[in-house]
Amino acid sequence: MAMGRRRFLATALAGAGFSVMGAGRALAQPADPALAGVHPELRELAVQLLPYTRNMPQPGLATLEQTRSGATAMAGAPLADVPYERREIPGAPGHPDVVIYVINAKSEGARPAILYTHGGGFIAGSAAASLAGIQNVCKTLDCAAVSVEYRLAPETTYRGSIEDNYAGLKWLHQNAGSLGVDANRIAVMGESAGGGHAALLAIAARDRGEVPVAFQCLVYPMLDDRTGSTRQQPPHIGNLVWTAASNRFGWESFLGVPPGRRSAPEGAVPARVENLAGLPPAFIGVGTLDLFCIEDIEYARRLNNAGVTAELIVVPGAFHGFDVLPFPSNVADEFNAAKLRALRLGLGIA
């Protein structure tokens, strides 16, 4: 999964005027306090990412198309050796049809499968642009996947995108036999906002009782609308790639109301769901400099307190998206290996 996303992020950074230099040199600690604590293997690229982050357009409706165009420009080509098919399936009652991508399906057998939701802060990104990453996972684990082209905010709030993703999950479960999938070995997975969607999907599946979810793989998931709005983070957190300002706009677009209020729309914010009991086992991975670090640690703690087995990996000195950056590093490779190990365990893959 990492290599496909690394390729398209490298292209985007090059287009923004940043060269990606080789890793591995010993570097002096950067003078800028925003770079304090960055992992030595990630420091060289962090130096280049900081001005990129600071010069991003102010998040808002006026710059939304620019944000989406940048995300589209980062799309990598799908892998040629892992089959996929674009399909259109019925949406929930009262909702439009949903586009999905069916990846690495076979006509027979009973392999595990993943329902994948892409990242993009709830406002950008696409399933089509994320194909290479999930294809790599399917190839490595010999599993199938369905990736959902859910509707983006602010045109559609959480009410629509949750239903889009649930329609994809239900379709995967109902068609498991024809896809060569074991209906009892389905995981939900996503990064960033996609991780938030995956967490919401696990909650919806538990509450509706129609589809058993075996595992949830949440990669630096976006879980709490209060982060960066009514809950300020320590100054060393959230300075690279995804900031508090971006988070506020993403959540306001998703919820349809300002984020961080005393109460949030029911079922829209994973961190606000009071009862986490009965959810599937989880993997949560995040870096210490990621804006989502504190909320992700807290969610893992609450899952374990509710009797839900949750593996938590917190990577020292890592920032948002560090595992897909376009240069080799042991810390990213180890993190990606941990995700795959967790999926193998959660899906019962030998």
In a domain, 29, yes or no: no
Instruction: Give the active site residue among 164, 182, 224, 290.
Output: 290
β-partners of residue 188 are 115, 216
For 106: left if phi > 0, alpha if psi spans -120 to 50, otherwise beta; the answer is: beta
Torsion of CA 3, 341, 284, 209, to 10 degrees: 110
Q: What is the pLDDT of residue 6?
A: 44
In a domain, 30, yes or no: no
Instruction: Give the active site residue among 126, 147, 161, 192.
Output: 192
Q: What is the pLDDT of residue 193?
A: 98
Question: How many other CB atoms are there within 10 angstroms of residue 65's CB atom?
Answer: 10
192 is known as an active-site residue: yes
For the chain, what is the domain count? 1
Owning domain of residue 71: 2-14+37-347
- Give CA–CA dist 190/193, Å, rounded: 7
Query: Any idea what the CATH number is for the domain that residue 235 is in?
Result: 3.40.50.1820
- Give CA–CA dist 292/223, Å, rounded: 8
Question: How many other CB atoms are there within 10 angstroms of residue 289's CB atom?
Answer: 28
In a domain, 19, yes or no: no
Torsion of CA 326, 327, 331, 332, to 10 degrees: 30
Instruction: Give the active site residue among 39, 118, 197, 320.
Output: 320
Q: What is the pLDDT of residue 4?
A: 41
Q: For the stretch 248-264, what's the b/e string if a residue is b when 16 or more beta carbons lie within 10 angstroms of its beta carbon? A: bbbbbbbbeeebbeeeb
In a domain, 105, yes or no: yes
320 is known as an active-site residue: yes
Residues of the chain with pLDDT under 50: 1-29
